[in-house]
Amino acid sequence: MQRGTRSRPGALTRSLAAVLSNAFDDAYITQEHLANIIGTSDSTVSRILRGEVVLDAERLDLICMALGVPLADVVTAADQNR
């Protein structure tokens, strides 16, 4: 990938979003609170949970920690469901 270009969301991104969205629903946390924890806006959190944002490993790890779910479990579930 060229420097400065953005990846388009693919099957894995959409699958990660579905797993994260389910964890978000179970976490009793608001989008605003999650946004504050990971250092982004509410609208970006919404886009992440809809599978419209390709996540880097660091941000995915922050989200998992905020939601109280193990990163490995999220990645495994997303891989199995894509």
Q: How many domains does the chain have?
A: 1
CATH code, 62: 1.10.260.40
**Domain interval for residue 46:** 11-81
33, part of any domain: yes
51, part of any domain: yes
Q: Which residues of the chain have pLDDT under 50?
A: 1
The per-residue pLDDT for range 60-78, each reduced to its tens digit, is 999 999 999 999 999 999 9
48, part of any domain: yes
pTM for this predicted structure: 0.89
Taking the C-alpha atoms of residue 70 and residue 75, their distance in angstroms, rounded to an integer, is 9
- How is the chain classified by DSSP, letter by letter? --TT--PPP-HHHHHHHHHHHHHHHHHT--HHHHHHHHTS-HHHHHHHHTT-SPPPHHHHHHHHHHHT--HHHHHHHHHHH-
4, part of any domain: no
